[in-house]
Every structure is written in structure tokens, then in C-alpha cells.
Amino acid sequence: PADFLNALRLNERNPQGASRTLFSACFTRVCFGASYGFVSLVKTQRCFLYLKGIHMIERFFTLYKIPAALLFCTALLLSGCGGNGAVTAEETKLVMGTVARLTVRADEITSQAALRDGMAVLTQTEQDADGVALAAVEAAAGTGEWREIPRTLYETLSRAQEGARRSHGAFDVTAGALTELWERARAEKLPPSAEAVAAARACVGYELLELRTREENGQTKYEARLMKAGMQFDRGALIKGLALDGICSTWQRAGITNALADLGTSSMLGMGVNEAGEPWQIGIRNPRGERAGDMIAVLPLSDEVLSVSGDDERYFMYEGRRYHHLIDPRTGYPADTGLSSVAVTLPLAAEYAAGWEGNMGMLSDMLSTAVFVLGAEEGRKLLADVPSALVILIGTDGKVIGE
């Protein structure tokens, strides 16, 4: 039965919640069975007595229907009470190329609905409704023609352009030609030729992405164009943050206050507190650790988002050198600034970020990539604009840099 399965799916860290729900499910069935049996007994007795024609005793048994009905209602009420306590419900799914784990603390019905809605946001992001619009803009690249795009995509690209300007192009949503070249290189475990890198680099540049709005028949149209043939988009450095923002607004609308969304440890949303009443505790992986589970720090996360960009996520080794997936658009090569990992946390309600409300996931995702590409010194300058950001920089020796 569904409620038994739900109880078993509950977070193993909350055995009381799980056993309470199991108890409630069992209790309902026992009470239901008892009342059913009792009513059946009454009916059997009634038939028997009818046969004998003893009407007085028949009426006496009829009276027992009332306690049976009372017992039944009590069972229903008690089972309802059992389901109303806060439980920690959890769901894990392979989505967006990562193992996503959502955890929600609320009453059972609300938490199950929140898990379903959160997973729906991830599935939608994976299905990528914007992909078609972006492909149309890429197909028209270099022709000077504008292509219409959805309003939400327009807003995402506008924010990406702001990130590119602030980071002087270290983060660049038009880096697609370069990132694709390096993805192929990773598959072949062979760095591309200098000519191939130069050719791809020539097709990258956020200044060559133009966005505009215009009015047509009283409606606002959102449009984009790429000014050079061969240019391509890559939203890989912001898409998980964007998904976290979607989950966050869905959960906030549903009144969820305590929850964690973990998109493969590189992107996390922590709302409120965990079952111990403390901020969610997030381990930051040591990119030079011997085992995958080696942690270098533990960060408390409460009404905050976290993004981690590291050179240990996707890379290949060639002649003793590490070629990873974080590309410096200004050189065309994997960023080589002495960093192996950058973790950035941002509060969900950051007052300084006017116009960025509800987009902290995307902002922290862009910042972690940009800071990695810029290096410690330039990266800190970029973060000076974002005073409530907390950053952990790890050098290529696997040691935390500074504080």
C-alpha cells in the first residue's frame, strides 16, 4: 500500500517519523479490520436471529452498530493525526546528468507534494524548452537577423550578460564553440590543436550577443541575435543554479520552510533547518582527496544556495597535465590560475542584489565558474560587489587559500 511505501521511503535519519507513519498505517488497518469484522459479526448474528424470529434480540445487536461506527471513526481520526507531524521525506533521481536528491521536512502530504513538484522542475529543465529557441538564434548567427525567444530565456540571457560584463568575459554564455571543442578533446583524451582552439575562440564573445525587446500589436516581443557565424551558447555554468531557483520559488509558494535540494553536490539549496533544528551541513569535497568522499570543509547552509566549480569534475590527463572543463574564453584553454575548486554561498534574501531577487542560484552558479576562471586575486575583486557571498578557494595543491 502507498502509505507503507511512503513510510519506508522516509529519510533514514528520521526513524521516529518513519516508525510513526508505519504505526499509523498499521493502526488504521487493524482498527478498520476490527470494525469490519465486528459489523460482519453483527450481520451474521442478525440473519441467524431473524431466522429464529426473535426481534427483541435483533434490535439489541443493531445497537452494536453504533460502537462499531464509533470505533471506525476513531481509527480514521487517529490515522489522520499520525500523518500530520513533520517528517523528513526524500527522493533521489538521475536527472540533468546528475544524481539529484531532494529532502523536505513538512507534514507527510505536503512533503510528498513538494518532492513531486521539485522533481518536476528538474525534469522540465532537462527537457529544455529553451533549446529550440537557442538553436534558432545560433542558426541565424552572423546574418544580423533577430530571432524571437521566450521572456524567461531573455531574462536568463540578460543576467548571463551582466555576469559576463562584471567578470570581464571570464564567464561567457557564448563560450559554446570552445566548450564543445574541449568536450570532444575529453572524449578523445587528446588536447585540440592550437589552430582549432584559435578558430573556436574567434566564435566566442559576449559582446557579440545582442538582446532587445520591441512592441508589436500591443505585445512585448523578446529577441536575440549572435553577430558572428559559428557562435554557440553554453548555459552549463548557470543551468543548475537556474533549476535551484525554480525549485526554491515552487517550495516557497507551497509554504515549505525546511528543505534541501542537492544537485550532485556542486549545486545546493538549503532552506531553514534540518531535523536536528540546525542549518543543513554540507561537505565540500577535497578535489585532490584520495577518495571521492574526502571532505575539506563542512559548510552550514540555511536559506542559502551553494555552487561549487572544480577541476576534478570533468577532466582528462595528457602528458602529465590536467585538462578540465572550465575554459578561459580569453585564452581558449582550461583556466590555469592555481585553483582546483571554488565554492560560493549566497543568502536567498540578498538585499544588495537589486533586480536579482529569486535568482541567487543562478548568480552563485555563475560566480563560482567566473571566480575559478579569474583566479584567487581577480575573483575576490569580483566578489567585492557581492558582500554577503562566502567563498572557499582551494588551490591546485588541495589546500584552502586564505580564510
Count the site residues for Mg ion by CB under 5 A.
4
265 binds, among Mg ion, ligand AMP, none (CB under 5 to 8 A by kind): none
Angstrom distance (rounded) from CA 159 to CA 135: 19
Angstrom distance (rounded) from CA 177 to CA 238: 17
103 binds ligand AMP (CB under 6 A): no
Among 163, 324, 365, 386, binds Mg ion (CB under 5 A): 365
User: Interaction with ligand AMP in 324-383: which residues (CB under 6 A)?
Assistant: 325-327, 329, 365, 368-369, 373
- Asked if 308 and 390 count as a contact pair (C-beta separation under 8 A), the reply is no
Among 236, 272, 300, 347, binds ligand AMP (CB under 6 A): 236
175 binds, among ligand AMP, Mg ion, none (CB under 5 to 8 A by kind): ligand AMP
311 binds Mg ion (CB under 5 A): no
Among 3, 90, 117, 172, binds ligand AMP (CB under 6 A): 172
Q: Which is nearer to ligand AMP, 114 or 181 (CB)?
A: 181
The site string for Mg ion over 221-260 (x = CB under 5 A, - otherwise) reads ----------------x-----------------------
Q: 115: part of which helix (H) or strand (E)?
A: helix 108-127
Question: What cell was used for 133?
Answer: 529557441
Q: Calculate the alpha carbon distances from 271 to 111, 212, 280, 347 in Å.
A: 13, 35, 8, 10
Angstrom distance (rounded) from CA 143 to CA 225: 9
Angstrom distance (rounded) from CA 270 to CA 72: 41
Contacts of 253 (CB under 8 A, 6+ apart): none
* Window contacting Mg ion (CB under 5 A); options: 55-63, 113-121, 243-251, 362-370: 362-370
Angstrom distance (rounded) from CA 58 to CA 180: 84
CB of 307 to Mg ion, least distance (A): 5
CB of 202 to ligand AMP, least distance (A): 16
171 binds, among Mg ion, ligand AMP, none (CB under 5 to 8 A by kind): ligand AMP
Contacts of 248 (CB under 8 A, 6+ apart): 261, 269, 271, 305, 348, 358, 360, 361
326 binds, among ligand AMP, Mg ion, none (CB under 5 to 8 A by kind): ligand AMP
The 10 Å CB-count burial string (b at 16+, else e) for 54-84 is eeeebeebeeeeeebeeebeebeeebeebbe
369 binds Mg ion (CB under 5 A): yes
CB of 28 to ligand AMP, least distance (A): 47
134: nearest Cα among 116, 152, 120, 109: 152
Residues that bind ligand AMP (CB under 6 A): 170-172, 175, 179, 234, 236-237, 266, 309, 325-327, 329, 365, 368-369, 373
Binding site for Mg ion (CB under 5 A): 237, 365, 368-369
